[in-house]
Amino acid sequence: MKYNSVFDIIGPVMIGPSSSHTAGAARVGKAARNLLGTEPTWAKIHLYESFAKTHKGHGTDFALAGGLLGFETDDPRMNQSLEIAKSKHIDITFIEDTAAVDHPNTARLIVGNDHTQVELVGVSIGGGKVEITELNGFELRLSGNHPALLVMHNDRFGAIASVTTILAKHEINIGHMEVNRKDVGDAALMVIEVDQNIKQNIMSELREAAHITNICTIIS
């Protein structure tokens, strides 16, 4: 099997019965949390095919909740994630969706709070590896060979330059970059593959850049 996602991680240490249904699901949930930028207060999670049929028995439900809580795959609290989320008044709804998908282990997460929300599609492709194939309606096309930045921003003059200038200042080379927008002046997404992982102080600087609404780093 070929793995070519920026979310590929080999050999997870995990809590739960299945690397595909538990570890992978937890990483999809955590990706949604990271892209939201904070812990959500609610989540609507559409599960498809295998995920829909076996999510309770294989721990996909508590794994997704654990990811939303920010738990790593080996966190001992993982199998209590649903109870912990409930105690924190996080409203999580699971929907067994019958729509056709390209992969049986697919979930669509719509997560948010009173101020904002994020929608993504995640696929668990085996061995704890996952792919994020869609973010807020944008399809993601990444080589999977390098770390990447997903930058949600307003389509405004200078937004792209504000990000690339910071990367250049810190001597971070861009290997590949794509920019997509909904419409002129509307929401836009920068997908940037770089040659090294981005340190937290640089991430903080990027978050303060002009017209940036959200940013997440993905480690290959």
Map out the domains of the chain with their CATH numbers: 6-135 (3.30.1330.90), 148-218 (3.30.70.260)
Share of the chain residues as helix, strand and coil, in percent rounded to the nearest 5: 30, 30, 40
What pTM was computed for the model?
A: 0.75
Q: How confident is the model at residue 203 (pLDDT cuts 50, 70, 90)?
A: very high
Residue located via tokens 């997704």:
64
Report the 10 Å Cβ neighbour count for 13: 9
At 188, the pLDDT band (50, 70, 90 cuts) reads: very high
Q: Within a 13 Å sphere around the CA of 27, how many CA atoms are in the beta-carbon half?
A: 32
Dist. CA 54–CA 33, nearest whole Å:
23
Number of Cβ atoms within 10 Å of the Cβ of 8? 17
Query: Six-digit token pair at 76?
Result: 């001992």
Instruction: Give the separation between CA 85 and CA 102, rounded to whole angstroms.
Output: 30
List of residues 6+ apart from 158 with CB closer than 8 A: 210, 211
Residues in the chain: 220
Q: Averaged over 77-92, what is the pLDDT?
A: 96
What pLDDT is attached to residue 82? 96
Judged against a pLDDT cut of 50, whether residue 32 lies above it is answered with yes
Confidence of residue 19 (pLDDT cuts 50, 70, 90): low
Sign, CA dihedral 217-12-133-51, equals negative
Closest to 189 in 3D by CA, of 130, 101, 119: 119
CA neighbor of 168 nearest in space, from 194, 142, 204: 194
Locus of tokens 């017209």 = 211
In single-letter form, the type of residue at position 141 comes to: R
